Structure 1
Amino acid sequence: MAKRSIIIDTDPGQDDAIAIALAVASPDELEILGLSIVAGNVPLKRTVDNGLKVLELCGRPDIPVHAGADRPLLEALVTAEHVHGETGLNGVDLPDPAMPVADKHAVDFLIDTIMEHPEKSITICALGPLTNIAVALAREPRIGPRLDQIVLMGGAMAEGGNITPSAEFNIYVDPQAAALVFRSGIPLVVLPLDVTHKAPTTPERIARFAALDNRCGPAYAGLLDFAKRFDEEKYGSVGGPLHDPMTVAWLLRPDIFKGRHVNVEIETSSPLTRGMTVVDWWDVTDRLPNALFIREVDDEAFFDLLVSRFASLP
């Protein structure tokens, strides 16, 4: 597998932290150019701090962290402390970060980095609301054709929503930004709730992280243990879905996923279905496919990948 250069656009909660760590633990396949941070799971100040904390936990304070949008394009910010806790990283007590925030705004970082690198050499892993990416595309449209692809966690089809009956959180928070990205013509890979709900963090799986002989394994076990409690209470499940790491896992092991190229449109105007991803799975419209929409995963292979890579972390 050729090495990919990636930018991780993220609003760090527990599952974002797992995704970042998986990318850090895969240096042979992935070069992380930086984190671009957006408000989402918690407000921007906390998501920035969480990005710094995660990189320090993983032993990579050299990766720059850029603060970005603190609110959606048009909507009031909706956050998810009810899921992730007040800090966004409840479940482990990490020290205040020592590494500084990069001077450049995340949008400027996205534009400059994409324009400075060869065409089709950068992939964006989008783990939160798509505000930073949408603003960057609006400010500098030339970056769109230069991107290799955007691999994003967001949306849902048969699973319904997790913040409203019809909408997944990341898309709901900034539907206008999502609509711009989905209409951009950039190749998209979408990891929706339909696939993330098929890989629950059971106690046995969390125990595999806790048993790792490093500092990251037990720390991430604590994050996973906290994160699952909301979904267990809400759905009556054993464990909870592990959303954002599937974006990085797809880059590393696309063979363990299955999906279909389809058209996906974003509802922006209806108060009842704001943020809904309207997925033309059965090709019943004349709209052209704009995304590879993933719905199946080998969950055992997914967790085997996570644990084996996390064993290499500090």
Structure 2
Amino acid sequence: MPPNPPADAAVHTLVIDTDPGADDVIALLFAMAAPERLHIEALTTVAGNVPLSKTSRNARLACEWAGRPEIPVYAGAERPLERTPIYAANIHGHEGVTGVKVHEPAAPLAEGHAVDYLIRTLRAAPERSVTLAMLGPQTNLALALTQAPDIVRGLHELVLMSGAHFNGGNITPTAEFNVFADPHAAEAVLKSGVPTTMLPLDVTHKILTSGERIARLRTIGNRAGVIVADILDAYAPQEMQHYDMPGGPVHDATVIAYLLQPSLFRGRLINVEVDSREGMGFGQTVADWYGSLKRPANANWIVDGDAQGFFDLLTEHIARLP
């Protein structure tokens, strides 16, 4: 049997669960530019940054912009498991992406519900063969796990843009948006027993745009580079102003960079739990970095990353697209 490839050369059979969202669109373009490493089976969409109809359209737009209209997009959960739905149009605009014009893509949605797709696909998959990248609220997987707990057999790893600890939150002082939007789903996913890596605000707020980094994307010479640069020019200043940061984060795209080059990141296995109780801590991810509670580790919590390495990797891949 040949040896396992090094982590930075691993090939993933991938499903991306997403709620596009400006940074989601960039993440999707990034992923679709690496077909030799990321074998994308489908995109599944969820309500989050904007309602489901718009996240589903934006996911199909990303496929169109990347020249990958063959990738099916399945629409999923319209609302969280229990809480009142919330959106982030104040950040992502009412269409879910700012800086670019949106339109109805040529490719229609795939037939069927995203949760049914996940159950069917993971049941049929070889054991521990599918990586699930989750860029939004985790409602679809939580519903699938409730209906068919046996699907964990097909999952190799969950890689989530999710949570906050050292950084503090971005929707409340303690909560990150993807978890706050459906903390009950995030709880269920963390209890699934599937190997999980979390890229929280702790790391995404260290991997920031700059004028030079956006300019490199804009001057690649292709349509995708201009789209990414236009999105970042519209999206980043809000974050920079709110957090008094020198650049803007590209949150969800860090998940794709981690899949392609995990050596860019640093973290460790710890216990993470979600506070789903009503109150000031609602939606908080309690990351036991120092092992104070002596509870079993359930997540690889990423705290640091190579910002220039990330933007070099992103630019290299966006340059491959139309």
Matches within 5 A, 1:145-156: 145-156=153-164
Q: Distance between the aligned counterparts of 2:10 and 2:286, measured in 1?
A: 33
Using the aligned pairs only, state the percent identity. Answer: 47
| CA-CA distance at 1:18 after TM superposition | 1.0
Aligned to 1:142, the other structure's residue is in SS state helix
User: Residue type of the partner of 1:232?
Assistant: M
CA deviation map 1:21-50 (0-9, x unaligned)? 111111111100000000000001100110
| CA-CA distance at 1:236 after TM superposition | 2.1
Matches within 5 A, 1:239-278: 239-278=247-286
| CA-CA distance at 1:150 after TM superposition | 0.3
1:47 alignment partner in structure 2: 55
Matches within 5 A, 1:57-136: 57-136=65-144
User: Residue type of the partner of 1:62?
Assistant: E
| CA-CA distance at 1:144 after TM superposition | 1.2
- Equivalent of 1:195, from 203, 209, 225? 203
- Equivalent of 2:24, from 8, 16, 20? 16
- Equivalent of 1:166, from 154, 162, 174? 174
TM-score (norm 2): 0.96
Stretches of structure 1 that go unaligned for 5 or more consecutive residues are none
CA deviation map 1:65-94 (0-9, x unaligned)? 000000000011110011011111111113
2:243 alignment partner in structure 1: 235
Q: Distance between the aligned counterparts of 1:143 and 1:254, measured in 2?
A: 26
Q: Which moved more, 1:109-118 or 1:30-39?
A: 109-118
- Equivalent of 1:141, from 139, 144, 149? 149
TM-score (norm 1): 0.99
| CA-CA distance at 1:232 after TM superposition | 1.8
Residue 192 (structure 2) pairs with residue 184 (structure 1): yes
Q: Distance between the aligned counterparts of 1:189 and 1:209, measured in 2?
A: 28
1:204 alignment partner in structure 2: 212
CA deviation map 1:43-69 (0-9, x unaligned)? 011001101111101101100000000
User: Residue type of the partner of 2:266?
Assistant: K
CA deviation map 1:189-248 (0-9, x unaligned)? 000000000011111111111101111000110111111121122012222111001111
Figure out how many residues of one structure are paired with residues of the other and give that number.
Answer: 314
Stretches of structure 2 that go unaligned for 5 or more consecutive residues are 1-8
Q: Distance between the aligned counterparts of 2:14 and 2:154, measured in 1?
A: 13
| CA-CA distance at 1:2 after TM superposition | 3.7
